Amino acid sequence: MAPTALQEKLNGLVNSMFAEGLLDEQFQQLQMLQDGSNPGFVAEVVTLFCEDSERILAELTKLMDQAVVDYSKVDAYVHQLKGSSSSVGAQNVKLACIQFRQFCEDNNKEGCMRALNVVKHEYYHLRSKFETMLHLENRIQAYETKQQS
């Protein structure tokens, strides 16, 4: 595929992510930080976010599987995930975390289980879009590198 077509596809994907509420204006802040001197910034931050999120989701799953749930630990992890999703502009994940924290405050196990599933659903949906986005970016950069050499 020609690079302009790739770029259009990438722009279309990112715009649809904004339109669906997957991303908010904080992601635009990150995009503005990417330039010639820092070409992989968004990819780096997105990768860090995904690694961090999966670590947290694994911990949350373990905690929620316990017979007696330690809600303060659960809340601490959800707070972390809310923070990083907010910093990256992952709007739906952030909103799901806010709901989750509410159930933690109420010590509502069933609510927390449902909320964890919502957070997972939103995260994995976002991750698959991020994967496509990074794949397109890599293809565009590979083409540009080839043109320069």
73 binds another protein (CB under 8 A): yes
| Residue 27 or 103 having the CB closest to another protein | 27
Tokens 């989750």 -> residue: 100
Please provide the DSSP assignment of 53-122 as one string.
HHHHHHHHHHHHHSSS--HHHHHHHHHHHHHHHHHHTBHHHHHHHHHHHHHHHTT-HHHHHHHHHHHHHH
Q: Which of residues 13-52 bind another protein (CB under 8 A)?
A: 26, 29-30, 32-33, 35, 37-38, 41, 44-45, 48-49, 51-52
CA distance 50 to 146: 29
| Residue 45 or 96 having the CB closest to another protein | 45
Contacts with another protein by CB under 8 A lie at 26, 29-30, 32-33, 35, 37-38, 41, 44-45, 48-49, 51-52, 55, 59, 73, 76-77, 79-80, 82-84, 86-89
